[in-house]
A and B are shown apart, each in its own frame.
Chain A
């Protein structure tokens, strides 16, 4: 079905073609019927091979015929001697070569060749590899051929280092051969595994947790070889910085395994008699157990929002009176059965709340996917990339990789440079997003003024500017979390940073005050309900029109949403679920123009005593 270029033809040529086609059709039908009747009668001889050959030459995707052919060949194996069988199968390989010449992407042909190679009494693997070489020289991206080559290598026991040398040659002659880089990524961990003794594979789990992916530990490469690979890949991206292949491969080299799965935080509140738990990934509540003072508790776990069956944060309520008496000390433990891990939290006398957590720094949460092997290695890589950046200042791959390396080395120290690089990447986003006249002058970010006065700016990758905007937002949020932890406070403040999205909300379970003012947020998504300790929400000067996530926040008292885009009373309904809400600032929102708004809001939100419209 895929791609043939149009060619014009005359009426006469058309007529000739038509006659030819009719002739072909008659022949085809006759052959097909002959085939089926033979097969039905159970005839498996050379005649069968001949008839199917005719048909398959013009239609190699007629699967049933390949199956008939395979039956015939298997039968012939039982009635001919080995030399004859060898000859028959070699003829089969020749036939397949002619099929593949016509259509080098036929699933049927390649599948059959694999089958034949497996049954041939005396296989000639050099011939098979030669076929692959020829096929790849015509189309080095033909994945059917690459897949077949892998099968041949496996069956024939070609040593991995020989295949690695093969990829060396291919990559050496053409750095942008993505398929070669891919093949290399599968060979390298076999030849130079990270751990010299492969650990025994884990027993099959009955649980629902996902099995390790190819990017996990056992598939990684030892450091000595990694350094050699860095050099190879740098040659590639210095030669052609615009080719994706080397950059993706580089990213993989720099990358690292998934982190350990743990219960990252546990929070206990006497007032609500509630336990909130944050996990390192989204889980479902089956397999969570709460133990209080040595007694397992019968509790209902719920996620923060009815939308989520899977959530990184779960909450449960204890029976009234269980922990409300502040003169009592309690010990609580949450067990995550599937991972055989647990977390303890002691609630002391006189304390109304308590928590226990691993900080983001402890978890190395934001090491941004990169290997922690050696800082010196990462620094040397950063240096190389910066060298390239001097030659190619607008190359997006280079900028993205530099950002990645900086975040691995020192996310806070490199924050200014990271922001500058993002500005280069997403320049057209700043240009095209209109300035809202209602927004205060102070909300103009430094990036806007940067562009007003830099007319020579070119677009690096404007097509993906929305993606970069969100990516930059994510990194700024990560940095803010780190700063918050270093300061040992529960206040999360990130204003005037062009934030387009919120993430890592599962890390904000303990936050009491949040300031998101003067950004570009459109909504507070359901995940926002993970901020179970929130008392004050400041989000003035955004474009917020959706408050779904301000939902059942038990301690929330103040919500400041001046100059946003809240337009209907329905938008404010989630707030009714927050029992302690006292103060609400809605000035500068379209909803203030709704008829009778004050009365409606008083009815919707009876706890609010200080309402600004």
Chain B
């Protein structure tokens, strides 16, 4: 009846996008984090990335001091020592939690337990790009050496050279690093593709590795990696791609969930939505229902988005509720910046990038 229509209209009017609140949310993220985030200290750079890229999407990077931020990120670079003995440990670290003295230039300081972390190198590079930096102070060869040291025989990657769990997430980080640095000598692509294919499950979603349950996040890592490598249609047949599309399309309930019979969660609007975009079928999603769900998780007071309505907002979900470039997970603007940088690099060396 018409009263039903009216209340629906009211509901729609109320659910508006509170850009300013989100800007403030991200600003606070860049200052102090609440106690419950203590366990994220070792991965602080990823939180910074969510906040910076979030501000970028909202076109609000001018609320922060870019130069200070850039310096801080460079202070997290694990640089080669004088004798270059630590090359296989280079990259970016997550924060200062190990206690390395602050420094933004080399040579590196030898510390037996200091090393880059593949996800920090990825988010560190992205953060620099977002801030408009030209990556000239990144020791690219050292980063790539550090990356090579992380890949296993089966094609997957550790996060750190000391060892950790190994799975498809870190393949995505590695592929992003190689893509940004325009140099695929950082990884054995063929092995990585084999690991990715081996992670394809019976229902045509991807698990974290062989035999593991399909999941929206790992499916994103698989597809985005193959796209960055330029090997999507080589690695997967048309039938496989169609089945993967089907699995992903069935993840939309209102927003998206990450696995069947799980509740919808804001972050999967990105993981699954971006996958569908990379597979050229984003038009199969229902844009309105997705948007309405995401906005329902918006925190009207504090800003940011949460996993679910009536939950605490956090930087990850706040960021993934916004729209970005599907393969690299940064804004179009930042993506164009890296493309321009790559043109410059290729121009100056007089040859094209060292691709497979």
Contact = CB atoms under 8 A, between A and B. Distances in A.
Interface of A: 1-6, 21, 24, 28, 32-33, 36, 39-40, 58-64, 67-68, 107, 110-111, 141, 143, 146-147, 150, 176, 178-179, 182, 185-186, 208, 210-211, 213-215, 243-245, 248-249, 251-252, 258, 281-282, 284, 310, 369, 463-464, 466-467, 470
Interface in B202-253: 202-204, 208, 210-215, 233-240, 243, 247, 249-250, 252
A6 B308 CA distance: 11
B284 A464 contact: yes
A60 B43 CA distance: 13
A146 B201 CA distance: 15
B194 interface: yes
Contact of B214 (A5, A107, A182, A467): A182
A179 B237 CA distance: 26
Contact of A1 (B162, B204, B289, B314): B314
B312 interface: yes
Given A4-B312, A59-B39, A147-B212, A244 B200 contact: no
Given A1-B314, A4-B36, A147-B208, A182 B213 contact: yes
B98 A36 contact: yes
6 contacts: A1-B316, A150-B212, A213-B197, A214-B200, A215-B202, A470-B284
B38 A214 contact: no
A338 B101 CA distance: 55
A3 B211 CA distance: 27
A243 B233 contact: no
Given A28-B38, A59-B39, 8 more contacts: A1-B37, A2-B307, A39-B113, A111-B164, A214-B200, A252-B202, A282-B238, A464-B284
Nearest to B117: A63
Interface of B: 35-43, 97-99, 112-113, 159-160, 162-165, 190, 193-194, 197-198, 200-204, 208, 210-215, 233-240, 243, 247, 249-250, 252, 259-262, 281, 283-284, 286, 289, 306-308, 310-312, 314-316
A178 B235 contact: no
A146 B213 contact: yes
Contacts of A176: 261
Nearest to A396: B250
B237 A281 contact: yes
B215 A4 contact: no
A36 B312 contact: no
A60 B39 contact: yes
A178 B201 contact: no
Contacts of B312: 3-6
Secondary structure dominating the interface of A: helix
Contact of A214 (B164, B198, B247, B311): B198
B212 A210 contact: no
Contacts of B308: 3
**Most chain A beta carbons < 10 A, residue from B112, B164, B193, B215:** B164
A110 B234 CA distance: 35
Nearest to A20: B35
B38 to A, nearest CB: 6
Contacts of B237: 210, 258, 281
Ranked nearest first, the 7 interchain pairs of A and B with the lowest CB-CB distance are A467-B284, A185-B202, A244-B260, A463-B286, A248-B203, A252-B202, A3-B307
A459 to B, nearest CB: 12
Contacts of A1: 37, 40, 314-316
Given A179-B213, A244-B250, A466 B201 contact: no
Contact of B234 (A67, A146, A208): A208
**Most chain B beta carbons < 10 A, residue from A32, A60, A107, A182:** A182
A179 B312 CA distance: 28
B113 A143 contact: no
Contact of B194 (A21, A178, A211): A211
A295 to B, nearest CB: 31
Contacts of A258: 237, 239-240
A316 to B, nearest CB: 21
A67 B159 CA distance: 13
A384 B212 CA distance: 31
Nearest to B112: A40
**Most chain A beta carbons < 10 A, residue from B160, B234, B311:** B234
Contacts of A252: 202-203
Nearest to A33: B99
Contact of B200 (A33, A59, A213): A213
